[in-house]
Amino acid sequence: MTKEERKVILASSLGTVFEWYDFYLYGSLAAVIGANFFSQFPETTRNIFALLAFAAGFLVRPFGALVFGRLGDMVGRKYTFLVTILIMGTSTFVVGILPTSDQIGLAAPIILIILRLLQGLALGGEYGGAATYVAEHAPHGRRGFYTSFIQITATAGLFLSLLVILFTQQIVGADNFRAWGWRVPFLLSIALLAISVWIRLQMEESPAFQRMKAEGTHSKAPISEAFFEWKNAKIALFALLGLVAGQAVVWYTGQFYALFFLGQVLKVDPFTTNMLIAWSLLLGSGGFVFFGWLSDKIGRKPIILGGCLIAALTYFPLFKLLSAEANPALARAHATIEVHVVADPASCSFQFNPTGTASFTQPCDVAKAALARASVNYRVEAAPSGTVAGVRIQGGEILRANTPTFGRDLTAALTAAGYPAASNPSVVKMNSPFDIFGEQQLVLIGILTLLVIYVTMVYGPIAAALVELFPTRIRYTSMSLPYHIGNGWFGGLLPATSFAMIAQTGDVYFGLWYPISIALMTVVIGLIFVPETKDRDIYAGDSAKP
């Protein structure tokens, strides 16, 4: 690797780490930010803000891919992803100095949402630009290895954001953090932005783009050419369904759903949950570079599709082992205590609520939601039409869900039957970042590291695979859209979809069927329709043809 190539990788990777750091801060601090900007407004207004914040996080990213992908294919890679990092970094810093709604009223949440939308748009343009830029500098036969450093950045950004938040909380204290300390991680982003911009300004345009511009073969309408000409559109569709969708759900399961499962389902405290995930990320992240390098030797498809298949086959035993180690008392309750929701099935909703704005008020929904939040395994027992839904525990009396004391009565009955309190002594607990040498901690870190290795298998080679699928003239646009639809929609909806599936069935593991189904779909479509690309000449004009 030459000095210039190292600079290219450093400039692209470092900037992308900072972009992901900025993006994850909002998600990690959503509750604190909501308390400062949304909580004093009527429910309808709060719901609108929550919906827009959700849209910025997931739905807007593909539009950013189109806007900046088009710009990158017409103007150049370097300047486009210089613009994206300026937008992201500036938006994040402004969040850190933005007055709260107590100070400037309704203007505060409106400005916050605008900044959040700008973040989503910028992130939509950043990844494709960084991956394309590095791949177009990489020598033939080493694109998987070179672009794998870009793949580390999302995990590194999450890791960095978690560390900064945790250390800020430790330094300023919990009360001060909620009052003003939450701003510190946002304000620090200005230093990260300055470093990243300075490095990127030193870089030259990619040789592939320079050559294309010199030859006058660049696209005048990259969006139309990429998605309205079937020869290119079908490749984007197969890339989405046969590579990215499976990669996305494996990635979100290994990093985000594992975080949700530990905290919300297994009732592990936030500090311990974050530290267990942080250790697994630290131990497993080398896999991104290893599998990127390996993909140069044996191909992109075997590793990506193999990761999807292995993940799909092992998620159930791994998550059950996670339960048994993290909260043994709860795992025993799942296996031994019989709980039924007695209800007319027609009165029950599918509680899909990704924005947190939906309201489920029917007794059946109230009962199911209460049991799901308490991490109770249950079955639905069909009752005649018009029956008021309720919960029966161990064959006892039915607790009707429409009574004012239902929540309190349910908690008492579950405790009496043997369901443990959230703070029961069997739950794993870490008292410091280095409190990892107990049996529970070591086993859990081992399981979580294995889940991260799955992530590195599917994510390490994906940038090289996407870059190689499309010709230079429309590469930035073509690869960015399927990537962000896959990760923003298929992946981003995973926690909400899985929780709804848990509430619907009463099985705390049933939500795993969502990533398993998508991963298996990707294996089938990828095997049949996606070509192997590791030996392609990405400078050739017909490189997009299978």
- Write out pLDDT tens, residues 431-464: 988 999 999 999 999 999 999 999 999 999 999 9
Assigned domain for 225 exists: no
Q: Is residue 13 part of a domain?
A: yes
Q: What pLDDT was estimated at residue 214?
A: 80
Residue 47's pLDDT is: 65
323 and 249 within one domain: yes
Tell me the DSSP string of 395-453.
T--EEETTSTTHHHHHHHHHHHHTPPPTT-TTS---SSTT---SHHHHHHHHHHHHHHH
On whether both 210 and 242 belong to a single domain, the answer is no
346 in a structural domain: yes
Report the percentage of the chain scoring pLDDT > 70. 96
Q: Which of 218, 241, 258 is a domain's end point?
A: 218
Cα–Cα dist 496/353, whole Å: 6
Inform me whether the pLDDT recorded for 71 exceeds 70: yes
Query: Is 428 inside any structural domain?
Result: no
Among 367, 385, 417, the domain-final residue is 417
User: Closest Cα to residue 501, out of 514, 486, 492?
Assistant: 514
Encode pLDDT of 352-377 as tens digits. Answer: 777 666 678 889 989 998 998 889 99
What is the token pair recorded at 106? 């309704």
Give pLDDT, residue 44.
65
What are 324-333's pLDDT values in tens digits? 999 999 999 9
CATH of the domain at 83: 1.20.1250.20
pTM, to two decimals:
0.87
pLDDT for position 543: 39
Note whether 2 and 149 are same-domain residues. yes
Claim to verify: residue 255 and residue 182 sit in the same structural domain: no
CA dist list (Å): 301 to 188, 246, 298, 422, 527: 39, 12, 9, 43, 8
Asked if residue 3 and residue 110 are part of one domain, the reply reads: yes
Note whether 371 and 455 are same-domain residues: no
Number of structural domains in the chain: 3
Same domain (yes/no): 112, 74: yes
Q: Are residues 92 and 210 in the same domain?
A: yes
Lowest mean pLDDT across 20-34, 270-284, 503-517: 20-34
Q: Give 15-66 pLDDT, tens digit per residue.
A: 788 877 877 787 778 778 878 888 777 766 766 776 677 667 677 888 888 8
The reported pLDDT for the residue numbered 342 is 93
Helix and strand numbers, DSSP H then E, in the chain: 26, 4
Residue 435 covered by a domain:
no
For residue 540, name the pLDDT band (cuts at 50, 70, 90): low
Share of the chain above pLDDT 90, in %: 41
* pLDDT given at position 542: 40
393 and 444 fall within a common domain: no
Tell me whether residue 311 is in a domain.
yes
Q: Is residue 31 domain-shared with residue 145, that is, in the same domain? A: yes
Residue 261 and residue 314 in one domain: yes
Helix, strand or coil, per DSSP, at residue 383: coil
CA distance 510 to 119: 33
Q: What is the pLDDT of residue 251?
A: 92
CA-to-CA distance for 242 and 465, rounded, in angstroms?
A: 11
pLDDT of residue 54: 65
Residue at 168 is within a domain: yes
Model pLDDT, residue 79: 83
CATH of residue 341's domain is 3.40.30
Enclosing domain of residue 528: 231-327+440-533
Residue where one domain finishes, among candidates 218, 247, 272 = 218
How would you classify the pairing of strands 398-400 and 379-382? unpaired
Q: Looking at the domain assignment, is residue 545 inside a domain?
A: no
pLDDT band at 546 (very low <50, low <70, confident <90, very high): very low
Mean pLDDT of 340-355: 84
Q: Given phi > 0 = left and psi -120 to 50 = alpha, else beta, which region is 392?
A: beta
pLDDT in tens, 135-146: 888 888 899 999
Question: Are residues 34 and 131 part of one domain?
Answer: yes
